[in-house]
Amino acid sequence: MFIVGAGNLAGQATVYLSKYASAVSMLVRGGSLAKSMSHYLISQIESHPEVMVLTQSTVVDVTGETSLEVITIADATTGDTRAAPAFALFIFVGAKPHIYWGADAVVR
């Protein structure tokens, strides 16, 4: 399961969903959570063994036959991309998202 975002809502979702998923990965565009998330949430996320925070990361592609199967993650530092199996992708980008590329395909 993947969560895109670095704010408090993304952090709360990560903590909550980690109770039900075997692994949760947070994809954070910036270099850390410190600028955008409360300290108590960062502490909970960092102490959870099933949660991984991937900084400098963005989703560049999603694929699947009838549902989500794979996401492609880009590393902003190296420029490398990698495919990761995924069954869920939650996007928490704020009250007024600056993402308009998927308006006809993504419920937001």
Where residue 8 sits, what CATH number does that domain have? 3.50.50.60
Cβ atoms within 10 Å of 104's Cβ, excluding its own: 5
pLDDT at 93: 73
pLDDT at 1: 93
**Positions of the chain with pLDDT lower than 70, given as ranges:** 94-108
pLDDT at 92: 87
pLDDT at 67: 92
pTM for the whole thing?
0.84
pLDDT at 23: 93
Q: Report d(CA 104, CA 108) in Å as an integer.
A: 10
Expressed as residue numbers, the domain containing 65 is 2-91
Q: Is residue 105 part of a domain?
A: no
Q: Report d(CA 3, CA 88) in Å as an integer.
A: 8
Q: Beta strand pairing status for 57-63 and 70-75?
A: antiparallel
Q: Report d(CA 18, CA 14) in Å as an integer.
A: 6
Domain count, the chain: 1
pLDDT at 102: 56
* Residue (of 58, 54, 57, 50) closest to 15 by Cα position: 50
